[in-house]
Amino acid sequence: MAAGTEEDLLLKSFMSEVSEVERDNEVTRILSCFKLNPFEHLNLSFDSSVDEVKKQYRRMSLLVHPDKCKHPQAKEAFAALAKAQQLLLDPPEREYLLSQIGTAKQELKLKRKKELKRDNASKIKAMVDEGKSEQQYEQSEEFKQQLKLKVREVLTEQEWRRRKMAMRISEEEGRLKKDEEETKEMWKRKREHEEQWEETRDRRVSSWRDFMKTGKKGKKGEIRPPKLKTEDPNKSYVQRPVKRS
């Protein structure tokens, strides 16, 4: 029997002995984790390797698997673990998370330096230890807890920026779509107008020809003044009688 198969059987046997209370507690823990940090869901440190991620997921997924765990939200917890592993195994997502963790760590270090400037004793000790006290601090549970909270803060801020940017992009796309629809509607109306104009062209030409043949008619019931008679039919004004000898 292969070593991997023996290990699988041993792990399954161990998981079968875990009490329902422990399974339920784990489901509750997973669902209460900060949603933007997959390291929390898998209960891993921020410097965990890819292999450690895979092993931890395998162990915990057996613990909260809906077929093994009777908790009503076991399916949700199992899905959360699967998503956490997917994010941590995806190179771009993992790189993004690690960069945000690095940002949070730098902010904590900067804050600590400012505190040391106000505390001469700690500053002197740090100089004497040549950075050893700083390393010890970063390995302490106090720093790990602070880093965990700071990472939440940084990820929350970045997610809020991302959502605002997505909202602006959506609004801009909506505006462009509206402008495009209005432009299409304008050209549609123009095209319909041109088609109607072409359809009535023959009728307009015919009406104009009839008008030119018959001339402009006066309005019904309109009285026009009589035309003045003159000796010269080419003149429209009244001439005085010409005396003849």
Burial class (CB in 10 A: 0-12, 13-18, 19+), 48: middle
Which pLDDT score is estimated for 240? 56
pLDDT > 60? residue 73: yes
Dihedral pair phi/psi, residue 22, rounded to 5°: -65, -40
Mean pLDDT of 45-55: 94
More confident residue, 64 or 135: 64
Instruction: Tell me which of 190 and 25 has the higher pLDDT.
Output: 25
pLDDT digits (tens, 9 = 90+) for 130-184: 555 677 778 888 888 999 999 999 999 998 988 888 888 878 878 888 888 888 8
Angstrom distance (rounded) from CA 78 to CA 59: 12
Residues in the chain: 245
Share above pLDDT 90 across residues of the chain, in percent, rounded to a whole number: 37
For residues 125-133, average pLDDT: 55
* 194 or 215, which is more confident: 194
The percent of residues above 70 in pLDDT, for the chain, comes to 78
Q: What is the residue-wise DSSP string for 209-235?
A: HHHHHH-PPPPTTPPPPPPPP-SSTT-
Contact between 89 and 50 (Cβ < 8 Å): yes
As a whole number, mean pLDDT of residues 14-36 equals 85
107: confidence class by pLDDT, cuts 50, 70, 90: very high
**Highest-confidence range of 82-86, 171-175, 200-204, by mean pLDDT?**
82-86
Residue 165: its pLDDT value, please? 84
Amino acid found at 78? F
pLDDT of residue 21: 84
Please count the other Cβ atoms lying within 10 Å of the Cβ belonging to residue 31: 16
- Greatest C-alpha distance within the chain: 156
Is 1.10.287.110 the CATH classification of the domain at 11-89?
A: yes
Q: Where are the beta strands (DSSP E) in the chain?
A: none
- Average pLDDT (36-63) is 94
Measured CA to CA, the distance from residue 124 to residue 130 in angstroms comes to 10
Range name among 19-33, 65-79, 125-139, 201-215 with the lowest pLDDT average? 125-139
Q: Look at 67-71, 102-106, 166-170, 200-204 and tell me which has the smallest mean pLDDT.
A: 200-204
Higher pLDDT, 206 or 228: 206
Average pLDDT score over residue span 22-31? 93
pLDDT at 227 exceeding the cut of 80: no
Distance CA(18)–CA(68), nearest Å, equals 10
Distances from the Cα of 85 to the Cα of 8, 38, 116, 155, 228, angstroms: 19, 7, 39, 18, 109
DSSP structure class, residue 68: T
pLDDT at 157: 92
Q: Where in the chain is the domain with CATH 1.10.287.110?
A: 11-89
